[in-house]
A = this chain, B = another copy of it.
């Protein structure tokens, strides 16, 4: 028979230890003003009884919240998964719990989720993933976040600006330039880009870097096919099919994230087109599977786990007068999916 015992309360511990609940509280929450003897005894008793303080009561009474919120586009996307992994690591280390929400890539959803996080009185809100270039969709969120910060909440974002908060900024522009320069240096000129919604700042930034690289060889983005699709594996597959149909002379494809690149590879394999012999393919992010694909994917590595760790670290620091910016680096990772342009057939 399960004991229908009520949950253990602080008063139970205090009684057992023979002290007041105030003393017990001080001992357990690690604040000053208790003799070491009592503190020690209370902690022992609590441990023995298996007492764990009610987070809601503690937070309501004015104690600092021990939970933080993480908002991502889609938890199934490896980019966000790796970021989440970094956040979880630091959180566990600090004894913080993490509420993860995802918008399912629906911008309207973002406001709902942010509100929920605020209602949960999280200590900090972390928002990962590109915002939309369209400022209008963002203004409500921004306002909500501003109020949150004004009342002591902390906010850090990964990969977006214009939110008036500390930010970890992935090296999208420079990375876009690097990967494009790499493909260009291999001799390719008929390059197609498989891109996600151009309203995403991530897409816009990476593309802008690509444009710079193109400029160095006297080309520009208008000269090459830029095919839009969902920022997912399926989107990559669709984009590649369109590239094949509409631009048969293309010799290299740069996908603006690895997920799309995986779809691109898939479509190519289905059509019997050899990579990199007949077509070079490059991605962006260096998600964990990228090196295990066949051919192993040439891509731009972003330190995603660290980005998650860093975002939480920023959010745990007291807020500064001006938002902090932590740019990340990037590394061009050349593997097997890109090769020099062959002599024309």
Which of A's residues lie within 8 Å of B, judged by CB? 2-7, 50, 52-57, 59-60, 67, 74-76, 78, 81-82, 84-85, 88-89, 92, 95, 97-102, 104, 109, 115-121, 144, 146-147, 149-151, 233, 262-263, 265-266, 269, 288-289, 291-295
A-B contact pairs, 29 of them (CB 8 A): A2-B146, A3-B150, A4-B151, A5-B150, A5-B151, A50-B144, A54-B60, A54-B121, A57-B60, A75-B81, A75-B84, A75-B85, A75-B88, A76-B81, A76-B82, A78-B78, A84-B100, A85-B102, A88-B101, A92-B109, A97-B99, A97-B117, A98-B99, A99-B100, A100-B100, A262-B292, A266-B292, A292-B293, A294-B294
A147–B147 Cα gap in the complex (Å)? 39
Among B4, B59, B95, point to the contact of A56 (Cβ < 8 A). B59
Contact B59 A88 (CB under 8 A): no
Contact A55 B120 (CB under 8 A): yes
Contact B292 A55 (CB under 8 A): no
Contact B292 A118 (CB under 8 A): no
- Across-interface contacts of A116 in B (CB, < 8 A): 52, 95, 97
* Minimal beta-carbon separation of A156 from chain B (angstroms): 17
Among B3, B59, B149, B262, point to the contact of A2 (Cβ < 8 A). B149
Contact B288 A76 (CB under 8 A): yes
* Minimal beta-carbon separation of A174 from chain B (angstroms): 26
Interface of A is mostly: helix
- Across-interface contacts of A92 in B (CB, < 8 A): 101, 104, 109
Contact A151 B6 (CB under 8 A): yes
Among B55, B117, B262, point to the contact of A289 (Cβ < 8 A). B262
* Minimal beta-carbon separation of A27 from chain B (angstroms): 17
Among B52, B81, B84, point to the contact of A118 (Cβ < 8 A). B52
Contact B100 A88 (CB under 8 A): yes
Task: Identify the closest chain B residue to A7 (Cβ).
Answer: B151
Contact B292 A233 (CB under 8 A): yes
- Across-interface contacts of A84 in B (CB, < 8 A): 75, 100
- Across-interface contacts of A52 in B (CB, < 8 A): 115-116, 118-119
- Across-interface contacts of A100 in B (CB, < 8 A): 84, 88, 98-100
Contact B102 A88 (CB under 8 A): yes
- Across-interface contacts of A146 in B (CB, < 8 A): 2
* Minimal beta-carbon separation of A202 from chain B (angstroms): 20
Not counting A75-B81, A99-B99, A263-B292, a sample of 9 additional A-B residue pairs whose C-beta atoms are within 8 angstroms of each other reads A5-B150, A50-B144, A54-B60, A55-B56, A55-B120, A56-B57, A88-B101, A98-B100, A294-B294
Task: Identify the closest chain B residue to A70 (Cβ).
Answer: B100
A5–B60 Cα gap in the complex (Å)? 18
